[in-house]
């Protein structure tokens, strides 16, 4: 009984690949959520319920204002932040030796032993 309680209270270390993946997922989800809470209310407030005369739609760069400020603007911001994340924040982790590489290495050792 004492051994089971001591084993359950032992500390274990999480894999660094898991920790990095979880950190990156939280950042990406946070970015998605910020764009979501920007895009939906802005698009709704600027596009729905407005009295728009067909020949007199307010535009920014030729697009209706609600599309520019509610969709294009957060999309461009997310693209810039995602590009920065890809090149500066996300890390390449060592995943170890793949089974194919391990089998190939074992095969090379067997050939060397047979040749000797």
Largest CA distance in the chain: 89
Domains held by the chain: number? 1
- 9 is a domain residue: no
- Tokens 């067909």 locate to 54
- Tokens 């274990």 locate to 12
- This prediction has a pTM of 0.64
Predicted confidence at residue 33, as pLDDT, reads: 95
C-alpha to C-alpha distance for 52 and 36, rounded to whole angstroms: 25
C-alpha to C-alpha distance for 26 and 21, rounded to whole angstroms: 9
Predicted confidence at residue 30, as pLDDT, reads: 94
- 4 is a domain residue: no
- Residue 23: how many other CB atoms lie within 10 Å: 13
Which two structure tokens, joined as six digits, stand for 39? 């895009």
Range of the domain at 71: 15-115
- 7 is a domain residue: no
**Tens-place pLDDT, residues 80-106:** 999 999 898 887 877 778 888 888 888
C-alpha to C-alpha distance for 59 and 47, rounded to whole angstroms: 12
CA angle 44-48-50, nearest 5°? 130
- 28 is a domain residue: yes
- 2 is a domain residue: no
- 97 is a domain residue: yes
**Tens-place pLDDT, residues 45-56:** 988 877 777 778
Predicted confidence at residue 8, as pLDDT, reads: 56
- Residue 107: how many other CB atoms lie within 10 Å: 10
C-alpha to C-alpha distance for 14 and 21, rounded to whole angstroms: 12
């Amino acid at each position: 009984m004492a051994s089971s309680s001591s084993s359950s209270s032992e500390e274990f270390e999480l894999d660094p690949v898991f920790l990095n993946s979880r950190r990156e997922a939280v950042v990406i989800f946070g970015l998605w959520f910020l764009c979501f809470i920007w895009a939906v209310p802005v698009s709704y407030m600027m596009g729905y319920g407005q009295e728009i005369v067909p020949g007199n739609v307010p535009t920014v760069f030729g697009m209706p204002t609600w599309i520019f400020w509610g969709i294009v603007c957060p999309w461009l911001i997310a693209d810039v932040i995602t590009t920065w994340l890809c090149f500066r924040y996300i890390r390449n982790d060592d995943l170890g030796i793949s089974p194919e590489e391990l089998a190939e290495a074992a095969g090379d050792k067997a050939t060397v032993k047979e040749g000797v």
